[in-house]
Structure 1
Amino acid sequence: MNNKLNHLLLVVLTFFLVATISGQRVQLNEPTRFLRLNDVLYLNQVYGGNQDSKGFLWFYSDKGVLKFDGFNFKVFNKESGLPNENVWFITIDSRDRIWLHSHDESIVYLQNDSIKETDRYKHTNYLYYVFELNKDSLILFSKPSRFLVTFSNNNHNLSYITSFDEKLQKYFNNIANVCLTKSMTDLNRLNSGNNGEDSYMDGYSIVFNNCIYGLSNLNNKIYIYNCESDNKFTQEIEKGLFYWPEKINKTINFSSSKNLYIFNKEKVVSYYSFTNSSSQNNRSFKDKNSNIWAAKKANYLEYFNGLELSNFTKLHYYTNSVVKSFQFDSLIFIELDNRTSQIFNCKSKNIVAAFNIFGIKEVGPWLNGWFWVRTNNRLVLVNEFGKEKDFYKETSEMGLQEKLMSWGPINSLYISKDSILTSTHHNKCDIIYRSDSKIGRQEIFRSNYRVTFLYSIDSMYYVVTNEVIYLLNKELKIQDSLFLANDFKNLNVSSFSYSKEFNKLFFGTSGDGVFMLNKNLTNLIKIRETNKLDIFNVFSIKNYLFAHSSKGIFSFVYNKENFEYNTVYANSYGIDPDEIKHCYYNGDSVIILLKNKIISFEYTLRDTVKDSLTVYECRIDSQKLEIKNDFKIPYKFTLLTFKFSTFNFGRIYDTKFRYRFNESDPWIVLSSNLIELSQLASGDYKLEIQAFNKYSNEVLASKVVRFNVATPWYKSTFFILSINLLFLGFVFWLYRSWLRRKQKVENDLRTLELSLRESKIKLLENQMNPHFLFNSLTSIKSFILGKDIKNADYYLGYFSKLMRLYLDSSRNSMISIENEIE
């Protein structure tokens, strides 16, 4: 019996430790940002929010539902088609269907940004619980009815449930047992019929991940039953009215106006307390990147950066704003906008002094642990405990003959407790020393350039100007110099420091980044990725280098002979670069003075979360397209748009986007998360989109979208080939026609020539009588036979002459009278 009792006590104690230690309380004081919603939707209050599996945030209010991708809100209200825009709760199922809980007779859900409405039921007052049997079957509990909704091909089928089957009845009986056996008498059970079967399904219990959670606001307890292990647990909670529990990102959230408990199974994994909220909260929740969102009983949201909550230590809060600050060693002089000043000690990490001095222009060290403070009309000595002395009265008593006010700006540097190295004019350096209760001054160095910084290391002194850095030995003689204008023109040195870890000198500039060099002023190197940065302060912690700039605090890690970029502390860490007043270090911690608070963090802090870029929407004009590999786009369109996001809401204010089509093309930087394209030629495209840090240019995520713009019919290969074939056929037809015409002409010419020959012969025949020729030749023959040579020769010659005349005249169209007579 004793062993069983001891075992039971051990189990109870073990659970108690798990419930408290695993859920350490985190106080939420000042939100990182406020998100005003009246510019998006005029509403009175935001009831709460949730996050779907894709990463979108959904907020519900008295004027509709808002979908947030980190850059833009999409509104669902009456104008969009909601039957009732007063949505007091939403449930997101495993297929990212958004079930809307409102006081309406219809059951409404959102799917792929479309509003789906079931048939109206007169006896349905509102939907209060959604129980998911599987991805396509859900039980909807409304008051007073219950429905089974099933899905097939994105179409729903809704039917009444009159009774549960044996398996479901047993399952829901376990829920009832959790409530009843733990005496949860304050639960708002619904006893509206069906033999009380739905009396345990009320607004203060929820089932998820084989665990049943029940809430008792009366007892300030949460009851948990693990169905797998058959164990029951109890978690005490802070007093207050807790709202309906929510399932968000595989956890259960219980929230009130001042607290947020997050459960995984039976363990409290996170516990947050809102300690300084400007107005009361409705529900609050944690997103996938551990950022906290608080819905207000007003028209805005509060956002708390997760990295800031888990890694930053708040050292001090100010009700007034910090105007300016000055740092010497471990002390920071801070002026506030209420016309007072304070001294913060970085070592003790608290405010050590306060004094009524305002309008501070300069602060510098003085003798015996005092500091001089120059305002518009005063010069005061102040120690680290806030005690004040009149500077002129003090120096007059010490024998100083001339007023230091006439020396111009004082840039002081300790040498010893009795002397100060200072620049009391724009281009010269003096030693102010104390001897026999008197103060004297001696000029030790004069430059042709304006002195901006003085620095001392191991009895070596550095006089820094924008053009030259001088190295003075312990006798205050110039040992060496480095002319900055030889390599870099117009450098405006804004900070100067020495790192013992690297045994290097570092100086920051206004607009040209950070530079590193050896103590003997050799090997001047520019730190990569600091180009065009305005640097206010540079320091090192171990193998890390920190540079406070106008774009945040840059961190670099030493690698061989140079530094490699590590991260930039800006909005993604909950730090607005415009609100950083000063940055310092103490041991292994970086201390940051912001506009209204002082925080610190470990020097190795780095956000290691890898972002992924999701292209979630593609539209051609008003038509939405499904995004997949090598999807096709019709050739005839006016505007092609892509929307995308990283869904890392902690980095949104540091993130910008750019795109290009070819690696040789320059990047096109976008002002939002929207790409608009028009007049794209036909062909294959490779659209590369990058999310990058707008301060450091670090690539956070990238995505390649391949698509094809369809070829118009008149540019298709088939059409062009057909046209070419038709053209070739037409040319061939022309050629054949020409050949036929040519052949015909040639035939006609031959025929004509034959006809001409025949005509000539006939003409010749007409001109020469055949009887005449026969008789003439016969007569000549008789002369030859009679051996009358003379007459034969005479008539034969005359006959040949006659033949020549016939033939010559046949070639001419006309014959002269002379020839005819002849």
Structure 2
Amino acid sequence: MKFLKIHITLVFILIWSFSYSQQYTKITVKEGLPSNHVYKIIQDTNGFIWFATDKGLVKYNGNSMKTFTTRNGLSSNDVWGLHATTDGKVWYLSKTSKLGYIKNDSVYAFESEIKDEIFAPNYTSQIGNKIILTSNSRSHHLINGKWKLLLSNNLLKNKPKIYIKHPNIAFLDSSTNLDTVKIIYQNGKTKVLTGLGNIKNPINRGQITDSIFYWVGEKKYTILNLNTSKIYSRNYKDEIGLEKSKYTRINLINNQIQITGKGFVGILDANFHITKSVLIPSKLDAHFAMIDKNETLWIATFLNGAYQLSKTKTNIKYSFEHENVSKTNAIKGEIIANIYNHGFFKYNADQKKFSPYIKENEYLFSATYIDSLETEFYISKNKIKVKKSSTKTKVFDFTKFPFYTNETARKLVYYNNYLYGDFTGGINKIDSKNLEIIKYYNQRGINNLITFNNQFLIATTNGLKQFKNQEIKEVTFKGIRFTKSILSINKISETHLLLNTDGFGSFVTDLNDIYQLPNSDYLIVNNAFIENKNIWLATNSGVYKYFLHKNHYRLEKKLLLANGLPSLQVNDVFVLKDDVIVSTNNGIAILPKNQKKSNDLLDIYIDKLSYNNHLIKPNNSTFKYIANNNINISVSSIDFSEGNQNLSYQYKLEPLQTNWKTTETTNINFNDLQANKYIFNIKTHNFQKKIEFTILPLWYQTLWFKATVLLILISLFFRTVWYLSKRKQVQKSKKILQEKQLSEIQLKALRSQMNPHFVFNSLAAIQYFINENNFEDSEKYLVKFSKLIRRFFELSKETTITLKEEIELLTNYLEIEKLRFKEKLEFKINIEDKVGFEKTKIPTMLLQPIVENAVNHGIFNKFDTGKVTINFIKIDDKTYQVLIIDDGVGFVNTQSKNKKIKSSRVLQQRLSYLNTSKEWEIEYFTEELYPEKDERGNKSTFIIKNK
């Protein structure tokens, strides 16, 4: 047993030393607390963290704080107790006349049924969602908005009763020293229990569930199972190694029974042993701690606010807090750390702890092991300590020199049987036995030395140099100079090196080609560690890890403050098995190599809804429509991740939007929404929330108004339909009239075409052929004449005719006229493009009257032979141009100055009706063929377009 206690104590000391340097996130008034005096911290069912302070109550979501004070309804700002119940309430305790809870950010405060009673609920119990206010003498519970008295004790009695909320037990009656306790049942029976562990002057007590009652003291705690009457007594020394602890309390947090006191916190298991215990550094002076849902540790202090320690950081060990650690070196398989003004420390991998190795109270340069010499060299500002396994450590002290500084070497390499070391002005060639300088070579700005494949390479502020044939020469890459400042060089493989620069990143080279590591631009790379095919960079922006993929390196991850680094200014990095040892200006951090950053995002919620800059409560999200309105929805998250980045959200407003939209802003606006019911949905990761709101319509947007307007519109519609129908009937009648007039015009045209002159002349010609006994010609003429007359009458019934039919009709007519004129008449019909002329239509009997005019008024009055030419020219698929040309005596000689040819007047009237019908667009004009010459002739032009 004694050995066990010693073992526990040692473990405790180790844990204590590790915990002492853990990187806690400090939360004080600078971060938003109203006071650095924090009594208690809890987490509610939604995941919010609550701080009870002497200046108010604080609700924290990981990003912002909301403080509740007397301004919000608290009776006192000095809140020292908190309880969270599963119904979403956070109960607050203080010494005041009104106590209650906060729910949905509203404060509810209730008085006692006893007038002017001041509560002092230092022993308050939590049973499910019920809170029993208990002091030394009284117990109350909340019924119908009043705190009702359950039990009242006389403080002068030695054995005050304790109220119990249980189906079988009514009260507990304990002794002063708590060596016995009497159970008083509901039926009046009693039972005395012993073995409580003799807790003298218990610090706290109370019922924590429907079946558990507890007492805590400075050295032990006792649990009573109310259902079984079994007692469990535990002391802190056996449980966690502490002899005693002040301010010890037991709380129900996130359905876990947690115990905490000065310097520790833990969770009670089924047998009420302390598990998952965390010992808190004494320097934090913590009196209370709590473990949240993500196993993040929250610590309360009376003077320094609160502290947060994430689960990720509990697995990280820290050493040399606030110390500048410049480098870690590998010496014969051991890791040696350079601690400024303290010396060289050796790393114990099992304990993850550094121990003093070689003490030096001055600036340290390097620790180097030369395999060929089997010698360790520890180099500082004034000394070089040489250590061999077979001999004592030899010290070369340079304080006797005029400048009292080491100008022999800052780092050593072994090359061609000599040691070489850099100093302020260049490189010294050094005897390996007595460290005497044999020769020096001038070279300013040296940062690092390395031997690689029998080559001696030098990293300088002006690029890479090579020591060869007792000279220092510049190294070029395919003839190109590399003048960037190189801070260190690492060997990647037998063929490649890594050059780490001051502000330009890292470069991989085989001393022929050179290329930069991706994403390392402008980084100050102090050093690197090569782990198999992985590269770890120690930079001014944390640690960068690269992996080899298809002969090229890719950035895999970064280690930053959120990962547990004590500083982003990383001086060196070393990988040992499953740990990454990071040296910084603020100490050393030992991180798990495969560290997974904990995601402490607990939930998202809609924080605010405002309509035209007026805040709307979630349970009253109904408002009147306003033109050009604005809806602003503020979204927040419960996220305690360290270094958490802005979340990316997806949202949609139904029914306005059907597809999700993505945003990184937490304020989402909608403008000019119409009266309707809306559902706003938002989600991120595995969390989704929604809020419903209604914009009520104005009087002219209401259903009855719209119904009235609809009836009016329907009436107007039928009125319009009646009007249009009547108008259509009028237009129909008008059209019938037009068609009648058109028929009359066509008949007039027919009559004009079949003018008496043509008929009489044709009959005279037939008679002439008969008198001349020319029966053959008379019969031929008569047949053609009868066919033409019959065709004219047939076409008089049609409104349109194809071009082919029109040409055939004109051809028959001109052939008859040619017989009548006894070869004095010639004619020719030209068709420019015959494509489609069999289907293309024109108005019936449109061209024949003009052709007849050309024959009877142009050619007839001519003494010599006349000619009529008809040209059909296609303009487009719907438009044709028709030219009717004769070389007769001309219009001037064939028309009276006061009276035009009758057929021409009929034609103009007919064209007017055709164009009015909107089916045709016909232009017609005439002109003399040779207006400026003595020669005569007429030209009539039709442009016919079928719409």
Conserved? CA contact 2:140–2:148, under 8 Å: yes
Q: Which amino acid aligns with 1:269?
A: T
Structure 2 CA distance for aligned equivalents of residues 436 and 551 of structure 1: 42
3-state SS of the aligned residue for 2:562? helix
Q: Deviations over 1:189-230 (max 9, x none)?
A: 99xxx9999x99x97234446652523426x22122456776
1:312 maps to which residue?
316
Moved more, 473-482 or 674-683: 473-482
CA contact (8 A) 1:213 1:224 kept: yes
* Map of 1:242 onto structure 2: 247
Unpaired runs of 5+ residues, structure 2, are 153-160, 197-201, 237-242, 388-392, 653-658, 738-947
- For 1:290, the equivalent position in structure 2 comes to 295
Matched, 1:205 2:205: yes
Partner SS for 1:84: coil
Distance 1:326 1:554, change over 3 A: closer
Corresponding residue number in structure 1 for 2:25: 33
2:643 to 641, 653, 664: 653
What SS does the corresponding residue of 2:595 show, helix, strand or coil?
coil
Maintained 8 Å contact 1:292/1:305: yes
The equivalent of 1:617 in structure 2 is 607
Partner of 2:354: 349
Relative distance call for 1:306 and 1:722 in structure 2 (3 A) is same
Instruction: From 30, 35, 39, give the equivalent of 1:43.
Output: 35
TM-score, with structure 2 as normaliser: 0.56
Residue 491 of structure 2 is matched in structure 1 by 498
Question: CA–CA distance in 1 between the matches of 2:464 and 2:619?
Answer: 59
The 1:657–1:393 alpha-carbon spacing in structure 2 relative to 1, beyond 3 Å, is same
1:67 aligns with 2:59: yes
Query: Which deviates the most, 619-628 or 636-645?
Result: 619-628
Aligned mates of 1:639, 1:158 — CA distance in 2: 41
Flag the 1:627–1:709 CA change in 2: closer, same or farther, 3 A: closer
After superposition, the C-alpha distances for 1:640-690 in whole angstroms (9 at most, x for unaligned) are: 24242343x3x333534456879x9999766xxx53647587799998787
Deviations 1:51-79 (A, max 9, x none): 11222111111221111111221111112
Q: Partners of 1:291 and 1:613 in 2: how far apart?
A: 16
The DSSP-based 3-state class of the residue aligned with 2:609 is strand
Count the aligned residue pairs.
Answer: 670
Task: Give secondary structure in 2 for the equivalent of 1:79.
Answer: helix
Q: Secondary structure at the match of 2:298?
A: strand
The CA distance in 2 between the partners of 1:159 and 1:395, in whole Å, is 85
Aligned partners of 1:45 and 1:300 also within 8 Å: yes
Quick check: 1:109 aligned with 2:101?
yes
Contact preservation (8 Å) 2:212, 2:224: yes
Please report how far the alpha carbon of residue 87 of structure 1 lies from its aligned counterpart in structure 2 after TM superposition: 1.3
Distance 1:297 1:607, change over 3 A: same
- Of 252, 276, 288, the match for 2:282: 276
2:541 matched to which residue of 1? Answer: 551
Q: Which residue of 2 aligns with 1:390?
A: 398
Contact 1:571-1:654 at 8 Å conserved across structures: no
1:109 CA drift (Å) = 0.7
Say whether 1:76 aligns with 2:77. no
Instruction: Kindly indicate whether structure 1 or structure 2 has the higher relative contact order, using CA contacts under 8 Å at least 6 residues apart.
Output: 1
Please tell me whether the aligned partners of residues 467 and 484 of structure 1 are also in contact (alpha carbons under 8 angstroms). no
The residue type paired with residue 491 of structure 2 is Y
Q: Which amino acid letter does the alignment assign opposite residue 496 of structure 1?
A: I
1:506-521 residue pairs with structure 2 within 5 A? 506-510=498-502, 513-516=505-508
Q: Given the alignment, which residue of 561, 566, 570 partners 1:571?
A: 561
Q: Select the residue among 70, 73, 80 that pairs with 1:88.
A: 80
Q: Which amino acid aligns with 2:234?
A: Q
**Corresponding residue for residue 413 of structure 2:** 414
Aligned-partner SS, 2:274: strand
1:809 aligns with: none
In structure 1, distance between residues paired with 2:521 and 2:682: 26
For 1:498, the aligned partner's letter is K
After superposition, the Cα gap between the structure-2 partners of 1:99 and 1:247, relative to the gap in structure 1 and judged at 3 Å, is same
Rounded Cα–Cα distance in structure 2 between residues aligned with 1:484 and 1:258: 65
Distance 1:492 1:22, change over 3 A: closer
In the TM superposition, 1:5-24 aligns within 5 A as: none
Distance change in 2, residues 1:128/1:476 (3 Å):
same
Deviates more, 1:228-237 or 1:294-303: 228-237
In structure 2, how many angstroms separate the alpha carbons of the residues matched to 1:512 and 1:730?
A: 78
Q: Is the 8 A contact 1:139 1:146 kept in 2?
A: yes
Please report how far the alpha carbon of residue 282 of structure 1 lies from its aligned counterpart in structure 2 after TM superposition.
3.2
What's 2:232 paired with?
Answer: 233
**Contact residue 478 and residue 513 of structure 2 kept, 8 A:** no
- 1:517-541 CA-to-partner distances (Å, cap 9, x unmatched) read 6x576685735x6566443332144
Question: What amino acid is the match of 1:249?
Answer: N
Is 2:273 aligned against 1:267?
yes
CA offset digits 1:323-364 (Å, max 9, x no partner): 4624544433332xxxx3422234683222333435x7x668
Q: Take 1:686 and 1:513, find their aligned partners in 2: how far apart are those partners?
A: 47
Distance 1:424 1:721 in 2: 98
Aligned equivalents of 1:583, 1:724: Cα separation in 2: 82
How far 1:267 moved relative to its partner? 2.5
Give the 3 Å change call, closer, same or farther, for CA 473–613 of structure 1 in structure 2: farther
1:606 is the counterpart of 2:596: yes
CA contact (8 A) 2:48 2:638 kept: no
Deviation per CA, 1:22-59: give whole Å up to 9, x if none. 99994242462322226745536211111112221111
Q: 1:326 to 1:725 in 2, by over 3 A?
A: farther
Residues 467 and 485, structure 1, Cα contact 8 Å, conserved in 2: no
Structure-1 separation of matches of 2:499 and 2:31? 45
SS at match of 1:440: strand
Give the Å deviation of 1:84.
Answer: 1.6
Aligned partner of 2:517 in structure 1 is: 526
- Equivalent residue, structure 1, for 2:451: 456
Give the equivalent residue in structure 1 for 2:439.
Answer: 441
Measure the CA separation in 1 of the matches of 2:59 and 2:505: 41
Distance 1:275 1:224, change over 3 A: same
- Provide Cα deviations, 1:286-344, integer angstroms capped at 9, x if missing partner: 222333222212252233343333x2334445xxx434624544433332xxxx34222
Matched residue type, 1:250:
N
Give a deviation string over 1:555-597, Cα, whole Å, max 9, x none: 4566665666665433334433346554334455332335554
Partners in 2 of 1:735 and 1:622 — Cα distance? 51
Structure 2 SS opposite 1:277: helix
| Counterparts in 2 of 1:116 and 1:597: CA distance versus 1, 3 Å | same
- Asked whether the 8 Å contact 2:679–2:691 carries over to 1, the reply is yes
In 2, are the aligned partners of 1:188 and 1:204 still within 8 Å (CA)?
no
Task: Give the aligned partner of residue 256 of structure 2.
Answer: 251
Alpha carbons of 1:117 and 1:704: their partners in 2 closer, same or farther (altered >3 Å)?
Answer: closer
2:562 maps to a residue whose letter is S
User: For residue 325 of structure 1, what is the amino acid of its counterpart?
Assistant: S
Instruction: Give distance in 2, aligned partners of 1:495 and 1:627.
Output: 64
Indicate conservation of the 8 Å contact 1:285/1:293, yes or no: yes
Q: TM-score, normalised by structure 1?
A: 0.64
Equivalence map 1:806-817=2 (5 Å): none
1:331 pairs, out of 333, 336, 340, with 336
Label 1:315 to 1:83 Cα distance change in 2 as closer, same or farther (>3 A). Answer: closer
Residues 255/566 of structure 1: CA separation in 2 closer, same or farther (3 Å cut): farther
Q: What secondary structure, in the 3-state scheme, does the structure 2 residue paired with 1:85 have?
A: coil
SS of residue paired to 2:246: coil
**Quick check: 2:312–2:598 contact (8 Å CA) kept in 1?**
no
Contact 1:641 1:676 in 2 (8 A): yes
Give deviations 1:490-543, integer Å, cap 9, x for gaps. 86654432346x9864444455555556x576685735x656644333214457
Distance 1:308 1:281, change over 3 A: same
Give 1:390's aligned amino acid: F
